[in-house]
Amino acid sequence: MTAPVIGVLALQGDVREHVAALAGAGAQARPVRRAAELDAVDGLVIPGGESTTISKLVDIFELREPIDKRIAAGLPVYGSCAGMIMLATEVLDGRPDQRGFDGIAMTVRRNAFGRQVDSFEASVEIAGVPGGPLHAVFIRAPWVERVGDDVEVLGTVTAGPAAGRIVAVRQGNLLATSFHPELTGDARLHAYFVDLVRAAS
């Protein structure tokens, strides 16, 4: 079976780490900065970083309309941290000029877990990802406050002050997590996304 081609939106954030994790999970991974590069991929990762900055850069690089069209046509997309915010239909505590892709029917609270100093790590069980809980790294992370009827909750925080908060969701071909799996050396979530891309193409 040929390896799916998965792009990583390379405007800001953990691009290199996602490319490495996708390659480790059996995909052909490449950075995407232009519409022509987007046309050549079977799936797309929107990495962590700063959601307001990514929102501005998407417009500067004239990628908003091409990404909107590909999402509408069923392109599998995975957003981690800021990428989750970019996929949400509603963002709380965002900037008024911030625009995402309105892909997943969910309300996300930006920087919900606090500032950089409040970054933490936790074990999170993810539905559909075998092998036990993932070691999840949260850095100025969002959480999901509400989801629409078509959104599947894949994972929540199980302990501590944020217990019960939704941190992983899926709606059709769109996947999002509050945390950064690309920073842990555990490629299981990337493998889950690669399988999703294979099934869609």
Active site residues: 81, 180, 182
Helices (H) and strands (E) in the chain, counts: 6, 12
Q: Specify the 3-state DSSP secondary structure of 116.
A: helix
Distance CA 192, CA 61 (A): 29
CB of 29 closer than 8 Å to CB of 6: yes
DSSP string, 16-84: HHHHHHHHHTT-EEEEE-SHHHHHT-SEEEE-SS-HHHHHHHHHHTT-HHHHHHHHHTT--EEEETHHH
Cα–Cα distances in angstroms (integers) from residue 89 to residues 25, 105, 121, 186, 201, in the given order: 29, 5, 27, 29, 25
Do residues 80 and 47 touch, judged by C-beta distance below 8 A?
yes
